[in-house]
Structure 1
Amino acid sequence: MKISIETLKTLIMYHISEYNKLEKMMHLIAISDYISKRVYHSLEVLKLNDLLTKLNEVHGYDK
């Protein structure tokens, strides 16, 4: 199944506001894993991955 960039953006923005910390961590990691396992070469996806990394750092999920 292929997920569009817009769907990924929507999921990320939704998780920022709706989920508690543990759920956010699990979902953001899943989205990040999905992105990293696909061979995307667009700048848009690289920006999304950067956003996920920053979110993980800000919320302390990478510890």
Structure 2
Amino acid sequence: MNIDRAVMAFAGLVILVSMALGYTVSQYSYGLAVFAGLNLIQASFTGFCPVAMFFRRLGLKPGRAFG
């Protein structure tokens, strides 16, 4: 797995967990999904993603987007 795929998988997991928490615990949990979506949008324009830096430190191979 490369960094690009790991970032997408992590973002998907965050969004799904946020939706589940929003449905079962509190509607304020939907804000986490909004944050994840906004972070994906800004990363697509700037190439900066804190999660990608974390996965790089874990030793994942670079991909095309977060190389």
Q: Give the number of the structure whose alpha-carbon radius of gyration is greater.
A: 2
Pick 1 or 2: higher relative contact order, CA cutoff 8 A, min separation 6: 2
TM-score (norm 2): 0.44
TM-score (norm 1): 0.46
